Amino acid sequence: MHEDLKAVQKAPLFSGLFPDEIEQLLAHAKRRFLKAQETLFAEGDRADAFYFIVTGSVRLYRLSAQGDEKVIEILMAGQTFGEAVVFLGGHYPVYAGALSDAALVEIPTGDFVRILKANGGMALRMLASISMRLHQLINDVQALTLETAGQRVAGYLLGQSPADANSGDVHIQVHKNVVASRLGVKAETFSRVLATLRDLGLISVAGNDIHITDRARLIQWRDEAGSGRS
């Protein structure tokens, strides 16, 4: 677990804590391994733990009445998920499943809450970290509600590439259909927007590798929302 402790320190949820505090919080944590497409928990399952991703990727999703899957969030190594249940208790509000083989740190909620209740300073610093993530999720919801399909795809590419360079490479680590679902667009719409951006000379595409040729022009295209609503 020593290497896991060093990795967890970089997670936004724990970024405001000291190493000895993180070690205390993870005293009863354990490694959990998932195969690709394996379900970790289902909507409605009792929430006894939350998770940190050491390697691999995980998707959070819901199922419609027809059984269609709607991806809520795609999570990569270095991120945590399920932490809201630490404070709310109850049951998981979504499904969680591995997109690829994944190694996780499973953190029991009971011990975690007990330690935080005994240390107000630690709890406040963690609350600040959670608040920052909440603001990001609100921005994501706003984008899904107000932006066109073209804006969402362009914004996703921009968010995955360095902000301080005028060109950059994006490697999509999961199936494009999963990214499309996360962005709230159809898979064919996602592909169509990529094709439009490619034809405009804003990106080049080779499988799951996308090269942004001109970040400034891509930002301008996103802001002008030339593709219309989908």
Q: What is the CATH number of the domain that holds 181?
A: 1.10.10.10
Together in a domain, 9 and 78: yes
pLDDT tens digit sequence for 179-199 = 888 888 888 999 999 999 999
Query: Residue 229 domain-assigned?
Result: no
pLDDT tens digit sequence for 125-140 = 777 767 666 666 666 6
Together in a domain, 41 and 128: yes
pLDDT value for 195: 93
pLDDT value for 230: 46
Together in a domain, 58 and 119: yes
Q: Report the domain count for the chain.
A: 2
The mean-pLDDT minimum among 42-46, 100-104, 152-156, 160-164 falls in 160-164
Together in a domain, 128 and 94: yes
Domain interval for residue 184: 148-224
The residue from 80, 113, 145 where one domain ends is 145
pTM of the predicted model over 0.75 = no
Together in a domain, 41 and 106: yes
On whether the CB atoms of residues 95 and 38 are closer than 8 A, the answer is: no
Mean pLDDT of 105-121: 87
Together in a domain, 152 and 124: no
Together in a domain, 17 and 96: yes
On whether the CB atoms of residues 3 and 52 are closer than 8 A, the answer is: no
The amino acid that residue 113 corresponds to is V
Single out the residue of 65, 27, 60 nearest to residue 45, CA to CA.
60
The residue from 102, 128, 145 where one domain ends is 145
Is pLDDT at 45 greater than 90 in this prediction?
yes
Together in a domain, 17 and 94: yes
Together in a domain, 54 and 80: yes
The residue from 145, 169, 201 where one domain ends is 145
* Percent share of the chain, pLDDT over 90: 30
User: What secondary structure does DSSP assign to 79-145, as a single string?
Assistant: -EESTHHHHH-SB-SSEEEESS-EEEEEEEHHHHHHHHHH-HHHHHHHHHHHHHHHHHHHHHHHHHH
- Dihedral pair phi/psi, residue 62, rounded to 5°: -125, 160
pLDDT value for 144: 61
Together in a domain, 166 and 125: no
Together in a domain, 176 and 102: no
Mean pLDDT of 100-110: 92
pLDDT value for 138: 65
